[in-house]
Structure 1
Amino acid sequence: MSATSKGMSASQLASQHFAYLEDPSQAPTSVEVRRVPLSAQQRGWIEKAWSFIDAKKAIDIDVELVNIYSPTGYEREVNTYVADYWKRLGVDAVYQQMDEHQGNAVARLHGDRSGPTLLMNCPIDTHWTGDLKTDGLQWGDPMRRDNMRPAQVEGQTVIGLGSNNDKGMATSIMMAVEALHRAEVPLRGTLLAATLAGGAPALSPDDEPRKNVSLCQGLLHSLINGVTGDYALFHKPGYHVSWEEPGMCYLRVRVLGNPDYMATESRADRPYRVLTDTARIIMALDAAAEEYRHTSRGGSFRPAMAANALNTGRPDKPNWSPAISEIFLDIRPAPWTAPMEVKYWFDGVMERIIEANPGMRAEWDMYVAMPGGRTDPANWIIQSAIRAAQAVEGDTSPAYEGRPAGQTEAGVLRTWGIPTARISGAPPNPEMPADLREGFTMSGAYAPYLVNAAKVLVHAAVDTLTRTREETGLSY
């Protein structure tokens, strides 16, 4: 049994994984696997449910999802499709509207009320649109095919806009819900599965009148409207398990100077201070990022910081030097680090840069603050998810290595006091086309990995939802 087997109240559970670690050395990189036997009946339910999951189904669903346009803020069509898919199976499912264009798909598999309530969710919005005019040069010109529709299938790999992240994750959750339903698993607890709108870690575009379409808005809407639980399985690409993930802080640096004109004789022998200082600051921030990566590691957390966007000058008027240049950067704080701690650390970085460059002027602020979080790896849901991942891979090791993770809605679930296992991480796709191996892609979904993820979700759901609340460590 887990460390919570004596029984914990909801408030005790919340403090267990919302609390920040004072000493990152306390964060383990691996955890002992606690064996909780499955009965022959439970094993039979899992095997029966697994029999409804296969690679062909994964490919068919993923292709359908990829071909439905669903950038952040415009998920109505795709989540209507998901809800209708479940409804046709006889599952209790609804489209949960947020506004005219945005909403979640939610499915309920009801138990007899003696067991816990388990969330199983993932985002479904694509980070990009697949339109060169909207996405700019992010994916090259001409745009790479992995950021475009319609979907293409090569072997067991689905290529196309978001085929792996986020449509592949939604595919696995859809298959898991279908499998549990068709296997007629007699649940004690209730499963609440959702494919969520508004997950992208991005602000609303300038031309978008709604300024609240992203940054976990779909999850927040679902939680506020009662789609909550005792435990959560949060899914990103892959089928391994992590119990902690970083936060995300966006910061803006405004480099200040005076407007000037190229042809002014008095400026012919002097540098354009704003652009020169902008370059100096970026180089100094890169050096600070390197230090941050080496000094802030702990547990499975991998620090990251980078300046990736600039707003400066006018491409149509390069003869003018701007008065202000803006640098935008992303810092990923540790799961146990509060966003304000990051802000104060960055204050010190910028103050040192200014001090080292007499005459330089700049101001800065934090404009996105998303805390990360961690769940005690001894918690029931982490242990159940690990047992599930090991069962799928045939792994009987006594210890399990935590997988590094990026920022997602799982941080929100944990700040809400919901113990959360993140299901993500997989080996590279062995079929990935050569033209998509360089750089980062959110495409190239490998059907066998989607199947593995669905099986992990099913195994953990049966393990958790065919038990009483007390058996999973709850006392309420």
Structure 2
Amino acid sequence: MRQHLLDTLHQLDRVAAPRGKERVAAHRLRAWCADRWPHIDWQVLEHGPEGGSLIATHGAGPLLYSHLDTSLDPGDPANAQVTGSTAPVAPLDADGDDITGFGLGVARGPAAAALVAFAGAASGRLLLAGSGTHRRDSAVTGVEAYLDAHPPPRSALVAKSGPPTLLWHEPGALYLTVRVTGRSGAAMAPASATPPGGVLAHAGTVLDELDRWRTAYLAADPREGQTGRACGIGAIGGGRPDKPDLLPAALRIDLYVVAGDPVEPAVLASGLADRLRTRCADTPLRDCAIDVRAEPVAAAAATPADAPVVTAARAAWQDEFGAPPPPLTGWTGSTDGVVLRARGVDTVRLGPQPRPADGDPRRDTLSLARLAAYARIYRRLLDEVP
């Protein structure tokens, strides 16, 4: 199994698979799998302009799900705004039990374990989906395309990195966009803008109130089930970098919000907008328009803790690791498990725990032995769960 995992990881590492552009990688992986495991009918499900997912079936049994795409494209210079680096990313390498490479956590490590587990199982289905990472667009994701084209399974296993335990409850997520709009002006005449000096000069007021709102939002977390709340500012924008002598009229701030409890996105956005207007009323931003829009990603969803797939996963975990899965509260990671549960599929998530690689945080390090342990659990559950 260790050699199968290493070979699969090297194959995944050879071709970039950024979100929504996985088709080439999916076809190359299909051809490689067909050569290595010819007894299985490997297929590519295409979706969108360039998306693609690898699928296969052994017949009855649960769906084993992971995804092909990585959060970022290592070859895209624009990602330096997130990573802080434009240097080439080193290829996958192995050192003893450690394997290190780009995108191992999201999600090549778990995807390799899922693929190898499926190849050795006698039951179940496999979906390595394109467009599995959260991104702001209206395109159909790989898991949605799969569920639209195939009967839903009774149960599913989500192979993705996460906490060292089982997850049967995952939070929902949404994006919030804050816009503060005044009047444009010229940098050489600061008073020509509204507010004087331009809206960007007063971004600190907005950011400070957003921090206060975030603190209150997190403090109100009811900690339902295994999940919790989280919130972070992921992007700030305004003006044109190639024309900084113009003071822009608008400031835009984008937030990612996680909620394990039921949250109404429109109500959350409206409350935040009211709060910002009150804060800015006594500042130079008083004459600016303030708007907050919500874009839902998914709602929180849970599988019953006594569902067959959860019960079987507990037993498999106990046998593999020698102890029951640890209890968990306050988890804030949302995956396509919420999509599967929304379609009525009992779902459990489990996978390895990566750590940032020494010297380059764009790369992850995983334990190969631990990855093999999860692959054994996946294979067992494929054959045991209906």
Tell me whether the two structures share a fold, i.e. TM-score over 0.5: yes
Counterpart-to-counterpart distance in 1, 2:214 and 2:352? 24
State the aligned residue count: 376
Mapping for residues 79-90 of structure 1, pairs under 5 Å: 79-88=26-35, 89=37, 90=39
Q: Give 1:62's aligned residue.
A: 9
How big is the shift at 1:462?
2.6
Match of 1:353 among 276, 290, 301: 276
Structure 2 gaps of 5+ residues are none
Displacement of 1:249 in angstroms is 0.5
Aligned counterparts of 1:163 and 1:197: Cα–Cα separation in 2:
15
Instruction: Tell me, in whole angstroms, the C-alpha distance in 2 between the residues paired with 1:406 and 1:425.
Output: 14
Give the 5 Å matches for 1:101-250: 101-111=50-60, 117-143=61-87, 148=89, 150-181=91-122, 190-204=123-137, 212=139, 217-226=141-150, 228-237=152-161, 240-250=165-175
1:326 counterpart = 2:252: yes
Match of 2:314 among 386, 393, 398: 386
> Could you tell me how far apart the structure 2 residues matched to 1:157 and 1:164 are?
13
Structure 2 residue identity aligned to 1:418: V
Give 1:133 shift: 2.0
CA contact (8 A) 1:242 1:405 kept: no
Q: Is 1:342 aligned with 2:269?
A: no
Separation in 2, partners of 1:180, 1:353: 55
> Any conservation in 2 of the 1:192–1:227 contact (CA below 8 Å)?
no
Q: 1:287 aligns with which of 206, 212, 229?
A: 212
Matches within 5 A, 1:383-422: 383-395=311-323, 397=324, 400-402=326-328, 404-422=331-349
Displaced runs of 4+ in structure 1, greater than 6 A?
none
Cα 1:328–1:265 change in 2 (3 A) is closer
Q: How does 1:358-373 map to 2 (within 5 A)?
A: 358=281, 359=286, 360-373=288-301
The TM-score, its normalising length taken from structure 1, stands at: 0.73
Q: Which position in structure 1 is the counterpart of 2:305?
A: 377
- The answer for unaligned runs of 5 or more in structure 1 is 1-52, 112-116, 182-189, 205-210, 466-476
Stretch of structure 1 that moved more, 86-95 or 300-309: 86-95
Instruction: Report the CA distance between 1:161 and its aligned residue.
Output: 2.3
User: 2:300 & 2:14 partners in 1: Cα distance?
Assistant: 32
* 8 Å CA contact 1:252, 1:328 repeated in 2: yes
- CA 1:364/1:266 → structure 2, altered by over 3 Å: closer, same or farther? closer
C-alpha contact (below 8 Å) 1:236/1:424 kept by paired residues:
yes
Q: Is the 8 A contact 1:306 1:330 kept in 2?
A: yes
- Aligned residues of 1:67 and 1:149 also touching (Cα < 8 A): no
- Deviation at 1:424? 3.1
Percentage of matched positions with identical amino acids: 21
**What is the Cα deviation at residue 291 of structure 1?**
2.0
Q: Deviations over 1:422-468 (max 9, x none)?
A: 11353x65xx643246xxx5622331222121112122223314xxx
- In structure 2, the residue matched to 1:314 is 240
CA distance in 1, matches of 2:359, 2:215: 30
Residue 222 of structure 1: how far off its partner (Å) = 0.3
Instruction: Summarize the Cα distance change of 1:266–1:191 in structure 2 as closer, same or farther, 3 Å threshold.
Output: closer
CA contact (8 A) 1:83 1:107 kept: no
Asked which structure has the greater RCO (Cα within 8 Å, sep 6+), the reply is: 1
Instruction: Name the aligned partner's letter for residue 263 of structure 1.
Output: M
Root-mean-square deviation over aligned CA pairs: 2.5
Question: How far, CA to CA, are the matches of 1:406 and 1:266 in structure 2?
Answer: 45
Taking structure 2 as the reference length, what is the TM-score of the superposition? Answer: 0.89
- 8 Å contact kept, 1:66–1:163: no
